[in-house]
Amino acid sequence: MTPADVVVALAFGVWGVGLTLLFPSPPHPLVPLTTGGELAVTVVLTVVLLFRRTRPVVVALLTAALVLVLPGTWFLYGAIYAAGAHLRDRVHLWWLVPLLFAASFVGGQGWIGFRVNDHAFLLFASVLVALAGLYVGTRRELIAAAHERADRAEETARAEERARLAAEMHDVVTHRVNLMVLQAGALQATTTDPAVGQAAEELRTSGRAALAELRDLVGVLRTGEPAAGSPTAPAAADRNAVAGLVAESRAVGVDVTCSEHGDPTTLTPTVQRTLARVVQESLSNARKHARGAHVTVEVHYDRGARLAVIDSGGTPDPDLAATGGGAGLDGLRRRVAMVGGTLEAGPEAAGFAVRARLPAYVPTTT
């Protein structure tokens, strides 16, 4: 029931009360009523008309029954219009309109002093109102169908654009990262310095991980689903993802302390991956925008997860800060919201903080 339904029903009710008070009853009612009785029937018809959108057949049948005791009421045309505009199966109109007209005819004992012109006009008015309802209902359905077709066309266009972006990403980025991995391998094979060899191996490992994650992203862009066997597929390694990300940041010189409380295995793989992405993006932002800062990562696992990544403030790294697109936190918020969690990020007294709350599993509806 919408506000429009209430307004329309009240308008009919006020109109019906006014007619009842200003004009006498029809000359030959089947069931003679006092003015109070007519007003009571008008109130009932007003309440019935509230459901004209959701229950048009029920409204028509109840109106037909009440018209037997209050013939000539304008609620008759309201019920006919509602049947034409809101019935899903328009076949019912072929018997509902005659039924309503017949109820009015019987209620007013139209055979007494029968005049063809009067009843022909009433029948014509009933058919005209039904056709008006049919027009409005059909037009509404056509508009809804047009919107649906436009949405499908837009979704198709988006899918094609995703496929195009995936192809470009694969061709351009993968080529460059492959060159980096090959060059790191060549450096490892030719160097005699153990430190350089270790750095080259770490570079190769990071490059291979980047290629695997890129393959997963390309799969999402193309099909909407992660690529099989990709790092974002459920895996036992997700349980130690936070510690691994912290270790990576320490390896490149970031001062990070990490504390985890509880059992991470209580989270489903999807939530574990989301948690890892939040930590990954938060540490990446700290490296870019808070160089030299101390970063604290704290995770509590208890019927879900509560995460806080706080840096103590620092100076931005101009080279790294320039590589960001400025949409990382917005993307995180959307990703966290998709699994039913919340994420807040912003400056605090201690520095910049990212705080997230995640459920133990992704809520579903049945």
The span from the CA of 119 to the CA of 88, in Å, is: 29
Summary mean pLDDT of the chain: 76
pLDDT value at position 217?
Answer: 63
**Amino acid letter, 198:** Q
Average pLDDT over residues 266-274: 82
pLDDT value at position 120?
Answer: 74
Q: Which residue has the higher pLDDT, 133 or 30?
A: 133
Classify strands 351-358 and 305-311 as parallel, antiparallel or unpaired.
antiparallel
- Closest to 251 in 3D by CA, of 192, 203, 197: 203
Range 236-358: architecture per CATH:
2-Layer Sandwich (3.30)
DSSP H helical ranges for the chain: 3-22, 35-49, 56-67, 75-86, 93-107, 116-190, 194-223, 241-251, 269-289, 318-321, 328-338
User: Phi and psi at residue 207, in whole multiples of 5°?
Assistant: -65, -40
pLDDT value at position 300?
Answer: 92
Q: Which residue has the higher pLDDT, 188 or 31?
A: 188
Tokens representing 116 are 């063809």
Contacts of 173 (CB under 8 A, 6+ apart): 214
The span from the CA of 42 to the CA of 39, in Å, is: 5
Q: Per residue in 295-345, pLDDT tens?
A: 999 999 988 899 999 988 777 665 555 455 455 678 788 888 888 889 998
pTM, two decimals, is: 0.43
Q: Where are the domains of the chain?
A: 3-114, 236-358
The span from the CA of 232 to the CA of 216, in Å, is: 7
Q: Label residues 71-86 b or e (16+ Cβ within 10 Å = b).
A: bebebbbbbbbbbbbb
Q: Are 255 and 295 in contact (CB under 8 A)?
A: yes
* Cross-strand partners of 261: 300
- Closest to 27 in 3D by CA, of 118, 99, 126, 110: 110
- State the angle between helix axes of 56-67 and 75-86 in degrees (0 to 180), rounded to the nearest 10: 160
Q: Are 330 and 291 in contact (CB under 8 A)?
A: no
